[in-house]
């Protein structure tokens, strides 16, 4: 296969992948007769996508609206009205989540979201309790806070039960084990950010939920041992806190990207997975790979050019196409495998292009100077 034919194949695969990802958005904008041929096709696409992509967006929308309400940290200045309004939105998110799961079994995703919502409600009640000057009002808010905390404990227990049922392993903590060990508590804001990104952004779509099945099988194979070491070594904890700062920034940007692409949850998930993998590779892997290339080149070994990454790029496009087909036809195994491989190949591709390109640039800058 020559380069021209290969480029055309790559272009067609990219176009196919984009079309498959955007079909749920485009077809929803044009009402058609359900008895027509196009209507039958539309019904098939609805059945394949609607229950998996739009399935939890309404609950998330209520929660995000509540998060946007700014409440002063000082209890004396915290207006009870805004706090109550925020809790009203959280309760709507909780009720909507129940409605969305009314026709299916409650999995670990449901209980994780429910626990987080109950915690936010309890924190607001505690804030109102601290801000009230009258004993009767304090008792009222304290009662509501305690009820919310009990509901949170129940949700956490149900989460752990559902997680063990789904994976066959007990969950040491509902959040990220390494982040929890690094920041000292599952309630730390950094851990909550990682957990909210996982459950509130990525796992909102079919692609994300399937990706995490494969990711968890890999992550939980080593994270308990790593988390145990971090917890017992203060120096390791300090180093990990520094190393996780870029990851938290990537998460913040990814959440913004996901919000901008909320018109298509599947496309948003694929975009943030690719973006996150690329940025992670550039931040954590690129410096070491480039240093290795530089040392190897200085020793006289031949370094390949950027063109050597073409096969990796073709593999990346093929994986994107396979994943799109897996999503379209609800092929779980294909989606799990291709999405995990896509993330890995994205890191390799990004680091490879950046390292080889930057190495080539430095060589062209230093050779004339040496002459």
- Cα 258 to chain centroid distance, Å, stands at 9
> Which residue is it, tokens 């100077």?
369
How does pLDDT run across 96-130, given as a tens digit for each residue? 888 888 887 776 667 777 777 877 788 777 777 66
> Which residue is it, tokens 């039960």?
161
Q: What is the pLDDT of residue 203?
A: 79
Total number of domains constituting the chain: 1
Q: What is the pLDDT of residue 325?
A: 93
Instruction: Determine, yes or no, domain membership for 48.
Output: yes
Compute how many other C-beta atoms are within 10 angstroms of the C-beta atom of residue 126: 18
> Which residue is it, tokens 């929803």?
28
Tokens of 254: 């990814």
Answer for the pair 330, 206: CB distance below 8 angstroms, yes or no.
yes
Answer for the pair 324, 17: CB distance below 8 angstroms, yes or no.
yes
How distant, in Å, are the alpha carbons of 107, 191, 224 from that of 218? 20, 20, 12
Structural domain of 267: 1-53+245-371
Sign of CA dihedral 179, 181, 216, 46: negative
What is the Rg, in whole angstroms, of the alpha carbon atoms belonging to the chain?
24
Residues 6+ apart with CB under 8 A from 91: 121
First to last CA, the chain: 40
Tokens of 337: 């495998």
Q: What is the pLDDT of residue 131?
A: 61
Instruction: Determine, yes or no, domain membership for 295.
Output: yes
* Distance, CA of 279 to CA of 273 (rounded, Å): 10
Q: How many residues does the chain have?
A: 371
Instruction: Determine, yes or no, domain membership for 67.
Output: no
DSSP 140-180: HHHHHHHHHHHHHHHHHHHHHHHHHHHHSS--SSSS-HHHH
Instruction: Determine, yes or no, domain membership for 303.
Output: yes
Q: What is the pLDDT of residue 56?
A: 41
How does pLDDT run across 228-257, given as a tens digit for each residue? 788 778 888 888 988 898 888 899 899 889
* Distance, CA of 169 to CA of 98 (rounded, Å): 26
Compute how many other C-beta atoms are within 10 angstroms of the C-beta atom of residue 88: 14
Instruction: Determine, yes or no, domain membership for 205.
Output: no
Instruction: Determine, yes or no, domain membership for 153.
Output: no
| Listed residue (296, 312, 308) closest to 356, CA to CA | 308
Answer for the pair 87, 118: CB distance below 8 angstroms, yes or no.
no
Instruction: Determine, yes or no, domain membership for 342.
Output: yes
How distant, in Å, are the alpha carbons of 23, 90, 100, 347 from that of 139? 53, 22, 34, 54
Residues 6+ apart with CB under 8 A from 108: 159, 162, 163, 166, 171
Instruction: Determine, yes or no, domain membership for 226.
Output: no
The residue ranges of the chain whose pLDDT is under 50 are 1-3, 6-7, 18, 20-32, 36-38, 40-42, 44-57, 172-174, 369-371
* Distance, CA of 345 to CA of 250 (rounded, Å): 18
* Distance, CA of 124 to CA of 80 (rounded, Å): 9
Q: What is the pLDDT of residue 127?
A: 73
Answer for the pair 330, 52: CB distance below 8 angstroms, yes or no.
yes
Q: What is the pLDDT of residue 172?
A: 41
Q: What is the pLDDT of residue 102?
A: 82
Read off the DSSP letter of residue 306: G
């Amino acid at each position: 296969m020559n380069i021209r034919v290969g480029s055309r194949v790559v272009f067609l695969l990219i176009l196919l992948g984009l079309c498959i990802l955007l079909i749920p958005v485009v077809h929803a904008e044009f009402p058609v007769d359900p008895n027509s041929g196009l209507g039958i096709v539309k019904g098939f696409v609805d059945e394949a996508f609607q229950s998996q992509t739009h399935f939890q967006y309404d609950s998330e929308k209520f929660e995000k609206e509540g998060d946007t309400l700014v409440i002063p940290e000082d209890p004396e200045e915290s207006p009870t009205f805004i706090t109550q309004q925020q809790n009203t939105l959280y309760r709507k998110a909780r009720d909507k989540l129940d409605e969305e799961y009314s026709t299916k079994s409650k999995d670990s995703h449901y209980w994780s979201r429910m626990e987080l919502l109950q915690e936010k409600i309890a924190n607001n009640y505690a804030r109102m309790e601290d801000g009230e000057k009258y004993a009767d009002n304090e008792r009222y808010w304290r009662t509501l806070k305690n009820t919310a905390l009990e509901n949170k404990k129940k949700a956490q227990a149900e989460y752990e039960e559902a997680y063990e049922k789904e994976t066959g392993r007990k969950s040491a903590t509902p959040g990220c084990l390494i982040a929890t060990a690094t920041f000292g508590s599952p309630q730390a804001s950094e851990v909550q950010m990682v957990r909210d990104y996982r459950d509130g952004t990525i796992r909102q779509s079919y692609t994300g939920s399937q990706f995490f099945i494969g990711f968890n099988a890999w992550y939980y194979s080593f994270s308990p041992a790593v988390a145990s070491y971090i917890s017992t070594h203060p120096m390791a904890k300090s180093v990990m806190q520094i190393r996780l700062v870029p990851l938290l920034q990537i998460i913040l940007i990814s959440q913004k990207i996901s919000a901008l692409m909320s018109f298509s949850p599947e496309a948003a998930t694929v975009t943030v997975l690719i973006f996150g993998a690329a940025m992670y590779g550039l931040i954590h892997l690129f410096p070491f790979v480039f240093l290795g290339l530089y040392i190897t080149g200085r020793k006289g070994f031949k370094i390949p050019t950027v063109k050597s990454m073409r096969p990796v790029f073709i593999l990346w496009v093929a994986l994107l196409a396979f994943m799109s087909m897996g999503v379209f036809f609800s092929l779980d195994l294909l989606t799990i495998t291709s999405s995990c491989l896509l993330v890995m190949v994205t890191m390799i591709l990004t680091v490879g292009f950046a390292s080889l390109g930057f190495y080539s640039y430095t060589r062209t800058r230093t050779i004339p100077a040496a002459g």
